[in-house]
Structure 1
Amino acid sequence: KRYSFGAVGFNFLIAAFGLQWALLMQGWFHSLDYSDGKIKIGVENLINADFCVAGCLIAYGAVLGKVSPVQLMVMTLFGITLFAVEEYIILNLIHARDAGGSMVIHTFGGYYGLSISWMLYRPNLNQSSRLQGSVYHSDVFAMIGTLFLRMFWPSFNSAITDHGDGQHRAAINTYLALASTVLTTVAISSLFQKHGKLDMVHIQNSTLAGGVAVGTAAEFMLMPYGSLIVGFCCGIISTLGYIYLTPFMEKYLKIQDTCGIHNLHAMPGVIGGIVGAITAAAASESVYGPEGLINTFDFEG
């Protein structure tokens, strides 16, 4: 009701500042040319920097209306730095694959934001909870944003995958998971609301949880039924999270999750990591072929 300008304008600020810092931080870890000491930048570096900033934008969702622009810049500075470190550990040291960023982007951004929200909690914070709701026009704009995310999520998950089969699989798996999540979210929301009405918070957020959860395994042979199952499970978990878990966290854990990032990003991100691990463990040369194993997992079976 009162933070619409900040929700949009401060996102712009985070993106502009974070993109520049991310190019440097990720460049030092991934793109530094030791022969001349310079960071080489290409289109893929810009995409990865966008992904890096996405983690901080997710974290901002937990502290919307609680931080000043200066605090937000400090939060982004540390967030980008920590993101670059955890990304290097997961992708370069552990050699995990995470094309859609379920672990690297969504889980990190979700729990980074929740930890800051926990630190900023004040005993009288519940007095401002009435301002946390939405008004008609903000719901409409948020729903338009949801539709845009729904359209472009397949390209988000497939942007840095192996060109060819891996990229096609990522788009298909994401598309199917999102479709399944929408149906499940609508059903669960209607079931748990009075008179069978739909809650706009669920429709704006939980309908995207499948795209988050399928991110790690997006380029794997998840198969269409696997994508549908992932989307189905995330639709249930995310919607129930908004109904039961968010009030529980605020009351007992002293964590006020303004935008519900734990239900849309953090929990589906954890599920995505588990799904990716199971799918990768089941990978074999008979399924992917010799070249497919190398291209998808960077190793030979």
Structure 2
Amino acid sequence: MGSDYPPSLRCGLPGLILSLETAFILIFWFCFSNESGSTPKDLDIYPAFQDVNVVVILGFGFLLAFLKRYGFSSTGFYLLIAALGVQWAVLVEGFLFSSSAGKIKISLHSILKGSISVTAVLISAGALLGKANPIQLIWMAMVEVAAFSTSRWINVKFLKVEEHTSLMHVHIFGTYFGLAVSWWLYHSSLSERVEKERSNLISDLFSMLGALFVWMFWPSFNSVLIVDLMERRNAICNTYYAIAVSAVAAFALSSLSRRNGKIRMTYLNLVLKIHDTCGVHYMFGLPGLLGAIVNVILFIIIKWASLSSLGYLALIEVGSFMLTTAIGLGTGFITGFILTFKLWKTLPASKYFDDQAYWEFPHLASRF
């Protein structure tokens, strides 16, 4: 019978972080250079860059802080994997999309794309919330960023999908990558909702605060990489209309689904043997798939005049998001299997959803 005490991460976690940072610094020094000539352009996109940063750091950090005994870990680990993941994403995207003779030039635009790419990791981590330790999350982030960037590279280079559209597949990729990993980390004790997996008034308020920040800045997230001004305006307006209608519909469906008509923060559950802690499937996966399908339908309507090439172009659009989903599921399945190995110092199920496994609380007893 295994010990109920979590294994120490004193050597493994600092060693992994310092090794990665050292490698990142060396790669940036020898292979990358700042694109000094793009400073005015960078300053033009800085306000939108900050909006995306708010979504990635503050929005996601608080959105998933609903577990009453896992708030420190939810926000802290999200900051950790976001900060490491952005650096890795800039490196991977630079080599895949910008490699040429000499050093690869990077700019604020590169960091912006890296921030959007790392959203896939944050979505996936939501499905594993409370069940994976920081070492597992960091390694998952490294693999997932590389896999998502590779899927984007295939879409852009071979299927000729617009770069903005390929980045918007981040919701689909992150969801199904995370669900595939979660399938491997499933434990029989998770079949019933345990006491530590519940929320309270304070944690729910923090989660709602995160949802509000995401709600406010999502139009910037969806439109920041669109070059054409008219298309960017349309993306901002359409995103706002969509989330407004979705918010109103969520209130209606939540009230309708309860016999007493009261509104709940959540109202959907999965029935498969996949423990999705925060419900990324219905929060990101299903909306992402619906958006991809609607995009194909609208594409057909708009391009109806060019009937001769319509079938081929529509097939490319369908194949793009299906390829993204397949790569996400496949790489997530392999990653989840690897994360079950003992070398990752997996947390015992009795210590799931508990900050005390990782954080020091001076006002509490040292034994738990």
**The TM-score by the shorter chain falls in which range?**
0.7 to 0.9
Distance 1:98 1:35, change over 3 A: closer
Question: Is 2:54 aligned against 1:54?
Answer: no
Check the 8 A contact 2:127/2:182 in 1, yes or no.
Answer: yes
Check the 8 A contact 1:18/1:76 in 2, yes or no.
Answer: yes
- Of 162, 165, 179, which residue of structure 1 is paired with 2:227? 162
Separation in 2, partners of 1:129, 1:31: 48
Separation in 2, partners of 1:159, 1:41: 17
Check the 8 A contact 1:101/1:157 in 2, yes or no.
Answer: no
Per-residue CA deviation, residues 155-178 of structure 1 (Å, 9 max, x unaligned), is 100000123101100000001001
Check the 8 A contact 2:152/2:167 in 1, yes or no.
Answer: no
Higher mean alpha-carbon deviation, 69-78 vs 88-97, is at: 88-97
Q: Secondary structure at the match of 1:40?
A: strand
Question: Is 2:124 aligned against 1:105?
Answer: no
Q: Secondary structure at the match of 2:302?
A: coil
Task: Letter of the 2:160 partner, please give it.
Answer: H
Give the match for residue 291 of structure 1: none
Distance 1:282 1:198, change over 3 A: same
- Of 284, 300, 315, which residue of structure 2 is paired with 1:281? 300
Per-residue CA deviation, residues 209-243 of structure 1 (Å, 9 max, x unaligned), is xxxxxxxxxxxxxxxxxxxxxxxxxxxxxxxxx42
**TM-score when normalising by structure 1:** 0.75
Matches within 5 A, 1:30-49: 30-32=97-99, 34-36=100-102, 38-49=103-114
Question: Is 2:89 aligned against 1:22?
Answer: yes
Give the match for residue 265 of structure 1: 284
Distance 1:157 1:101, change over 3 A: farther
Check the 8 A contact 1:100/1:156 in 2, yes or no.
Answer: no
Q: Which consecutive residues of structure 1, in runs of 5 or more, have no partner in the other structure? A: 202-241, 288-301
Q: Secondary structure at the match of 2:106?
A: coil
Question: Is 2:199 aligned against 1:180?
Answer: no
Question: Is 2:138 aligned against 1:119?
Answer: no
Q: Secondary structure at the match of 1:152?
A: helix
Count of aligned residue pairs for this structure pair: 240
Greater helix proportion: 1
Separation in 2, partners of 1:180, 1:151: 14
Distance 1:25 1:98, change over 3 A: closer
Give the match for residue 136 of structure 1: 201
Task: Letter of the 1:80 partner, please give it.
Answer: V
Give the match for residue 148 of structure 1: 213
Distance 1:133 1:147, change over 3 A: same
**TM-score when normalising by structure 2:** 0.62
Give the match for residue 363 of structure 2: none
Question: Is 2:23 aligned against 1:4?
Answer: no
Per-residue CA deviation, residues 10-43 of structure 1 (Å, 9 max, x unaligned), is 00001111011001111111122x221x221122
Check the 8 A contact 2:171/2:288 in 1, yes or no.
Answer: yes
Separation in 1, partners of 2:210, 2:192: 29
Question: Is 2:236 aligned against 1:171?
Answer: yes
Separation in 2, partners of 1:260, 1:197: 20
1:125 to partner: Cα distance: 2.9
Task: Letter of the 1:264 partner, please give it.
Answer: M
Check the 8 A contact 2:81/2:141 in 1, yes or no.
Answer: yes
Check the 8 A contact 2:81/2:138 in 1, yes or no.
Answer: yes
Check the 8 A contact 2:127/2:275 in 1, yes or no.
Answer: yes
Q: Which consecutive residues of structure 2, in runs of 5 or more, have no partner in the other structure? A: 1-67, 307-368
Percent identity of the aligned residues? 38
Give the match for residue 198 of structure 1: 263
1:2 to partner: Cα distance: 1.8
Separation in 1, partners of 2:165, 2:202: 31
Task: Letter of the 2:170 partner, please give it.
Answer: I
The higher radius of gyration belongs to 2
RCO comparison, higher one (Cα < 8 Å, 6+): 2
Distance 1:98 1:279, change over 3 A: farther
